[in-house]
Structure 1
Amino acid sequence: MIELRAAKDRGVANFGWLNSHHTFSFGSYHDDKHMGHSALRVINDDTVAPGAGFGTHGHRDMEIISFVTQGVIAHKDSMGNVQKLPKGEFQLMSAGSGVTHSEFNASDTEVLKFLQIWVVPDSHGGQPGYQQKDFGQNQGLTPVITPTGENGTLKIRQQATISQLYLQANTQAQLVFAQGRKGYVHIVQGSLNLDGQTLDAGDGAKLTDISELTAINSADIALVALVFDLP
């Protein structure tokens, strides 16, 4: 089954310095029909004003992923990491037993856009961890986050895989899920035909009881999407 989640129907929080669109219930936005999908709990599409950002705050027992689509994040955390996260890079912070961090727009003139993603871990506690990497833009499906960290991927504390789907104009790829697994597709850029249904930027699709799908980019621009393989 494919359940579409239209970008226009997402929750919205606009604080002036931050304009955020919530795929699932988050903060003051609550919808019992959209509480997440399997271990995937949050997809926030954030736009941050120049020089603004999230001050130091804490997390625990959550896998927190950031994917920058425009600009640069300035990151600082209680583990001693002080990093810059530019467009195209993935960041995975395992909160474990507890961590504090801040995330700011590194520019005083340009906006920052990024996806903030939370995945519930399969165990509680443990030492916090930090990982960051740019996987480029290779045609097709590129795993970026896996339970094992194999082949240079970032290692997540959950039986989940997150892949970047990049399709040049008028190309396609097959999405395959093992029996009993769930999936989610989030469109970052462009337009995707998924089993006859069209998804545009910001749209998503919950996938259940599906073994294989054909993903087609029939548009004139490249398609970028995130594909979640979930327990």
Structure 2
Amino acid sequence: MMKTILHTADSRGHANHGWLNAYHSFSFANWYNPDRVQFGALRVLNDDTIAAGMGFGTHPHDNMEIITIPLEGDLAHKDSMGNASTVKSGDVQVMSAGTGIFHSEFNPNDDQHTKLFQIWLFPNKRNVSPRYQQITLNKTDQKNNFSQILSPNPEDEGVWIHQDAWFYLSEFDAGTTKKLTLKKVGNGFYIMNIEGKINVNGQSLDKRDALGIWEIEQIEITASTDARFLIMEIPMNV
């Protein structure tokens, strides 16, 4: 029997620090909602806007898979593994924090903000060696298609993480309908609608609305308008 949970854009936690305007799909920092702690292995989905020249100073993480997807602008990254890079809109970055890392993230531009999703998943194994990966996506693959950007397999499309999860980015023209089947039985889907309006198995989603759906093998997505969205297939039992 299909189960769903709707997280509308205006139901998210919100914190505007001036330099950072953040929306939290799940409990984070000073926002705590006992009904919104996680969705399966998905622990954090933050929708952040970082002001020009501002950012997060060096801070630690461990035993978490951290995925960053810039939507607009750039993010300058430095970490204790020796990586220093700029993650741009159209890229995806992943860090397996494992036994522990330190990193900083800044908007390197003085004339524009940076918008990004930062996503944390619980890993399927603890205390792995920390690792970093960053790739540039082919946006044409996303047109009216489920373009895979993340998986558990290093040889697969996109980045990889220590978890049986698959992420897809899509840009649908209005009227496009497609079906997506789970890669792993028992997983669920969490769909974040980035722009436009879509319908997922009969549920309409406006901009920044999200839908968790599980105990199902397949979803059908129809774009009511031109739309952009992120689909995350994630383990429900962690």
Question: Structure 2 length as normaliser, TM-score?
Answer: 0.93
Kindly indicate whether residue 204 of structure 2 is the aligned counterpart of residue 202 of structure 1.
no
C-alpha RMSD over aligned residues: 1.2
Corresponding position of 1:145: 150
Kindly indicate whether residue 178 of structure 2 is the aligned counterpart of residue 173 of structure 1.
yes
Alpha-carbon distance in 1 for matches of 2:196, 2:79: 33
Alpha-carbon distance in 2 for matches of 1:60, 1:36: 17
Corresponding position of 1:100: 102
Residue correspondences, number: 229
Pairing partner for 2:33 from 31, 34, 39: 31
Deviation, 1:169, is 2.5
| Runs of at least 5 residues in structure 1 that lack an aligned partner in the other structure | none
Deviation, 1:149, is 2.3
The 3-state SS of whatever aligns with 2:10 is helix
Corresponding position of 2:197: 191
Deviation, 1:118, is 0.2
Deviation, 1:123, is 1.0
Alpha-carbon distance in 2 for matches of 1:175, 1:103: 34
Deviation, 1:206, is 0.8
Alpha-carbon distance in 2 for matches of 1:201, 1:131: 29
Alpha-carbon distance in 2 for matches of 1:131, 1:113: 20
Amino acid in structure 2 at the alignment position of 1:229: E
Corresponding position of 1:76: 78
Equivalent pairs: percent with the same residue? Answer: 38
The 3-state SS of whatever aligns with 1:8 is helix
Corresponding position of 2:60: 58
Corresponding position of 1:135: 137
Alpha-carbon distance in 1 for matches of 2:94, 2:33: 27
Deviation, 1:65, is 0.5
Amino acid in structure 1 at the alignment position of 2:85: Q
Alpha-carbon distance in 2 for matches of 1:152, 1:160: 13
Deviation, 1:88, is 1.5
Alpha-carbon distance in 1 for matches of 2:206, 2:152: 29
Corresponding position of 1:116: 118
Alpha-carbon distance in 1 for matches of 2:154, 2:232: 15
| Runs of at least 5 residues in structure 2 that lack an aligned partner in the other structure | none
1:74-129 per-residue CA deviation (whole Å, 9 max, x = no partner) reads 11111111101111211001111010000000111101100010000011112111
Alpha-carbon distance in 2 for matches of 1:176, 1:106: 39
Amino acid in structure 1 at the alignment position of 2:70: V
Pairing partner for 1:160 from 152, 157, 165: 165
The 3-state SS of whatever aligns with 2:156 is helix
